[in-house]
Amino acid sequence: MGFNLKNIISIRDFKKSDINYILELSKNMEEQINNKIINKNQEGKLLGILFYEPSTRTRLSFETAMKRLSGNTVGFSQAESTSTKKGEVLHDTAQVIAQYTDAIVLRHKKEGAARYISEVTDIPVINAGDGAGQHPTQTLLDLYTIKNIKDGFKNLKIAIVGDLKYGRTVHSLVYALAMFNTEIIFISPNELRMPEEILNDLRKTRCKFSVSNNIENIINEVDIIYMTRIQKERFPDPKEYSKIKGQYNINKKMIEDTDVMVMHPLPRVDEISFNMDNTKNAKYFQQAFYGVPVRMALLDSIID
């Protein structure tokens, strides 16, 4: 079983065997972390981390992953402190960072930015989120979480809740779930439904899915609830956001008598109550931890 992708841009570029390869390798990486084994695979290598949008988990888990592989990182988390402020375009910034480093991780507000950079540089590029487009490394850690906690993907039913229009994590995740034949219920306000183009893609697969507005009705029906934040920053009109925010919330009382597993890519705003955090159902912090072994596996697979 090999891994032949040079860049990590979209989950749609992955074959099921590529995903399984990364999930297997992530298990090794997790064992190394837990057993405090020093991995020297990326010693002497440098990762360029270019973040044009805010991030906590993705940026810091990539940094942690590279350092746990004995590599190092350079980069920025605010474009305002770079020559972008003086008018430098993404193309030129990426060309320069590609002279300094062995791979680039890019988060950008424009859909397609990572694909573009991968086409104009000759080092591996990883998409760490491109606007409302894709977030493939989040999907891999989501899959790793599901596989570990649910012992695989067989006969699983998952509700994906919240901002399905702008949420890049779910735009990636659904393509992978379709590969693993997971049944999906999409729950969102009408204004934030999963784009029809993606639903049409799912119709072409064997993926079974349905669409609803109501979260209460499905709690006893599903194995996993995947909550998402309403993506305030993507709304063209802030008044539209104000009308929609706060529509979905999940709290301890709603799920404590069930076995449903609650996931969230984080950050949360108001869609998961804090009283959920100590329940057996809450898995979102464990999910965030899995970002490190999964990103170690990815970096080790694409950097020479």
Which residues carry out catalysis?
57-58, 86, 107, 135
Alpha-carbon distance 52 to 60, whole Å?
14
Q: At its nearest, how many Å lie between ligand CP and the CB of residue 125?
A: 17
- Using CB under 6 A as the binding rule, whether residue 133 contacts ligand CP is answered as no
R_g of the chain, CA atoms, integer Å: 19
C-alpha angle with apex 149: 147 to 155, nearest 5 degrees?
60
Structure tokens at 261: 């597993």
Alpha-carbon distance 77 to 87, whole Å?
17
219 Cβ contact partners less than 8 Å away, ≥ 6 residues apart: 225, 254, 255, 258, 260
Read out DSSP for 235-278? -SSHHHHHHHTT---B-HHHHTTS--EEE--S--SSSB-GGGTT
Nearer to ligand CP, 71 or 265 (CB): 265
Nearer to ligand CP, 56 or 83 (CB): 56
71 Cβ contact partners less than 8 Å away, ≥ 6 residues apart: 42, 43, 44, 45, 46, 47, 102, 299, 303
> In which order are the strands placed within the sheet that holds 46-51?
72-76, 46-51, 103-108, 125-130
Nearer to ligand CP, 233 or 257 (CB): 233
Q: At its nearest, how many Å lie between ligand CP and the CB of residue 227?
A: 12
Question: From the list 7, 138, 172, 188, which residue makes contact with ligand CP (rule: CB under 6 A)?
Answer: 138
Q: At its nearest, how many Å lie between ligand CP and the CB of residue 203?
A: 28
- Using CB under 6 A as the binding rule, whether residue 56 contacts ligand CP is answered as yes
**Letter for the amino acid at 238?**
P
Question: From the list 6, 27, 57, 157, which residue makes contact with ligand CP (rule: CB under 6 A)?
Answer: 57
Q: At its nearest, how many Å lie between ligand CP and the CB of residue 149?
A: 18
Nearer to ligand CP, 139 or 281 (CB): 139
Question: Where does this chain touch ligand CP (CB under 6 A) — which range of 53-61, 154-162, 230-238, 247-255?
Answer: 53-61
Question: From the list 20, 39, 41, 55, which residue makes contact with ligand CP (rule: CB under 6 A)?
Answer: 55
Residues in the interface with ligand CP (CB under 6 A) total 9
**Residue 134 per-residue DSSP state:** -
- The H or E element that residue 49 is part of is strand 46-51
What φ, ψ does residue 158 adopt, rounded to 5°? -125, 135
- Using CB under 6 A as the binding rule, whether residue 267 contacts ligand CP is answered as yes
Question: Where does this chain touch ligand CP (CB under 6 A) — which range of 111-119, 182-190, 240-248, 263-271?
Answer: 263-271
Nearer to ligand CP, 138 or 145 (CB): 138
Nearer to ligand CP, 165 or 264 (CB): 264
Q: Which of residues 184-243 bind ligand CP (CB under 6 A)?
A: none
- Residue numbers of the site for ligand CP (CB under 6 A)? 55-58, 129, 138, 265-267
